[in-house]
Chains A and B, each alone.
Chain A
């Protein structure tokens, strides 16, 4: 087995995973809400692409639409339910779990409980020397890179980003300074959902869509967020890269089932002994 396609495989999986975790991390560190429906947001994104394909619209259009559709769903949910859960993390956990259940089962009813595959907009592969690399995987990696840079610019260079960071750091002071914190929260929640939706949309051509695809993503993303440490952009990405890369790479080395277990156990143990996250040591 050549190393290059393998490397691309791991990288593409990690890239998608980073998107999911980034959305979850932003919501978790900002509002203290661990969104159990986040995996289902990714599922909704995937379903949007699938629905586009079923109706004869090209999948790339579906992938562009997916983040917007999911952001809209996220916004509506935030307005109806999530905003009642701020400052009550446990209730939030249960509430978002209930939302997740309803969303997952709705998609299951629509899909009929089977696996479906979706064609990638870029089906071919590059030939570099002797190895061929899937074009779609490359595209996913590039898109993720662009989105990450845009997110970072948005958070650090714009006025909105400043407001978001202010609301994250100290909601009361932000409110006193004239920032409409509730609106910032709603926007952030929609934004985090959109990231999950985008990840879901990009992922369908690589992994077929089924109603249960969100759950493993959810658990791994939680671990990644805790591993990276809450409340930091770099932390979430680092945690995601670590968990994503190891859970994509390990199955090549040892049995997939054992690999999963290993990733979970190691992550949990690290989080236990370093609840502030891995990056906290260097940041201080």
Chain B
């Protein structure tokens, strides 16, 4: 966060620090239920970060982030239940590696290659992968079939059992913050500049001699790693993995989080998760809205969510964060501070 004089006010660091400061004392303020809720948001925020990295920065439309999330969850859950491994120091790296390897395999199919694949092909390939693996998990009784694997043992660190609650919250938050900072350094480096170039004008960057597919593949694989960690944490926090954590429903839910919050800012993804999860939970509970409204929201909330997303895509392509952060700041600066004055809009985001 190197200070750059004059031209615009930086809002992103303010939002980031505010969120962190708000998050830190949470377990002391809230009761048990809300701490679990906050932990879940931290874990899902990791997943959203992974999507924002591929879509918001490299322009890869991945409809399959849940694939890495879910498979990592399954593998760690199987390790824990079938061979009794519960150490967090074994399981989380395993989750990360599973996500990484799987994302690499998917990248080999949909991204790497002689031809530059079309956006549609990548979107479809990842969506199909997610759907196919969900079907596989549902039909495979060794991994629990429809019911998934439930009552997972708790994670351990040495002889210490990590209970859901305060400690788990801080672990999740710490992983989130560390990942966030690393990703942020990555996207603001020279590497990130190339990524942004690819997102804005793929052809031009190719003419500069960059291997576009390699860059995209690397980012995609890294995002897979993050999604994997998130999936591992999620499985042990919920004490459960099921086919729902693999499929297109969660994959597209992530897309929703990020677009709603605002893609290409990282913090937008985190905000999106927090706000959507909070509204999803809270709205059907509000009694002052009247009984019929509450009854409708209980079943009809996803309808509202769909319309909300449609509205966002149509009228506010920069998401909620676009209300606070200028385009200039969203594009940002890279490497060492320098002058770049043309704040271009994001691709595919200009209203048609």
Interface, chain A (partner B; CB < 8 A): 34, 81, 84-91, 93-95, 97-106, 108-109, 215-216, 219, 222-223, 226, 255-258, 260-261, 264-265, 267-269, 271-272, 275
A215 touches B120 (CB 8 A): no
Given contacts A261-B132, A264-B132, A268-B128, 15 further A-B contacts (CB under 8 A): A87-B352, A88-B348, A94-B255, A98-B309, A99-B306, A101-B302, A105-B303, A105-B305, A219-B127, A219-B248, A255-B139, A261-B133, A265-B132, A267-B128, A272-B125
Report Cα–Cα, A266/B351, bound state, in Å. 36
Residues of B252-301 at the interface with A, using a CB-CB cut-off of 8 Å, are: 252, 255, 259, 299-300
Question: Given B121, B133, B140, which contacts A226 in the complex, CB threshold below 8 Å?
Answer: B121
B350 touches which of A88, A102, A258 (Cβ 8 Å)? A88
A15 to chain B, nearest CB (A): 23
Shortest distance from the beta carbon of B45 to any chain A beta carbon, whole Å: 20
What are 6 A-B interface contacts by the 8 Å CB criterion? A98-B306, A101-B302, A102-B302, A219-B124, A219-B128, A272-B121
| Chain A residues within 8 Å of B178, by CB | none
Q: Interface readout for B131-145 with A: 1 if CB under 8 Å, 0 if not? A: 111011011100000
Residue of A nearest to B301 (CB): A105
By secondary structure, the A interface counts as: helix
When distances are taken between beta carbons in the complex, the residues of chain B under 8 Å from A269 are 109
A residues in contact with B321, CB < 8 Å: none
> How far does the alpha carbon of A95 sit from the alpha carbon of B351 in the complex, in Å?
12
Tell me whether A89 and B348 are in contact (CB under 8 A).
yes
From B137, which residue of chain A is reached at the shortest CB distance?
A257
Interface extent on B, as a size class?
A: 35 or more
State in angstroms the CA–CA spacing of A91 and B128 once bound together.
19
Q: Is A102 within 8 A of B310, CB to CB?
A: yes
**A110 (CB) vs chain B CBs: closest residue:** B299
CA distance A109 to B300 in the complex (A): 6
**With A102-B303, A215-B131 given, is the CB distance from A95 to B314 under 8 Å?**
yes
* CB of B349 closer than 8 Å to a CB of A: yes
**How far apart are the CA atoms of A98 and B115 in the complex, in Å?**
30
Which residue of A88, A91, A106, A268 contacts B109 across the interface (Cβ within 8 Å)? A268
Q: CA of A6 to CA of B255 in the docked complex: distance in angstroms?
A: 41
Task: Determine which of A34, A81, A100 lies in contact with B314 in the assembled complex, contact meaning CB atoms within 8 Å.
Answer: A81
Question: With a CB–CB cut-off of 8 A, which chain B residues contact A255?
Answer: 139
- Interface residue? B176 (CB, 8 A): no
Q: What is the distance, in angstroms, from B322's C-beta to the closest C-beta of chain A?
A: 15
- Give chain B nearest CB distance to A261 CB in angstroms: 5
Instruction: Give the distance in Å from the alpha carbon of A6 to the alpha carbon of B339 in the complex.
Output: 69
Q: Which of B139-155 contact A (CB under 8 A)?
A: 139-140
Contact partners of B306 in chain A: CB under 8 A: 98-105
Known interface pairs A88-B350, A93-B123, A272-B110; A223-B310 also in contact (CB < 8 Å): no
Interface string of B318-352 (1 = CB under 8 A from A): 00000000000000000000000000000111111
B124, B127, B313, B347, most chain A CB atoms within 10 A: B313
Judged by a CB distance under 8 angstroms, whether B117 is at the interface is: yes
Give bound CA distance, A97 to B256, whole Å. 10
Known contacts A105-B302, A222-B124; is A90 also within 8 Å of B117 by CB? no
Q: Which residues of B contact A84 (CB under 8 A)?
A: 314, 351-352
Q: Is the CB of B136 within 8 A of A257?
A: yes
Q: How far is the CB of B163 from chain A (nearest CB, A)?
A: 34
Q: Please, which residues of chain A bring their CB within 8 A of the CB of B305?
A: 101, 105
A256 contact from B117, B119, B139, Cβ within 8 A: B139
Contact A91 B313 (CB under 8 A): yes
Contacts A261-B132, A264-B132; A275 near B118 (Cβ below 8 A): yes
The complex places the Cα of A216 from the Cα of B247 at a distance, in Å, of 11
How far apart are the CA atoms of A7 and B47 in the complex, in Å? Answer: 45
Is B61 close to A, CB under 8 A? yes
The answer to whether the Cβ of B307 comes within 8 Å of any Cβ in the partner chain is yes
CB pair A275–B309 under 8 Å, yes or no, is no
B52 to chain A, nearest CB (A): 14
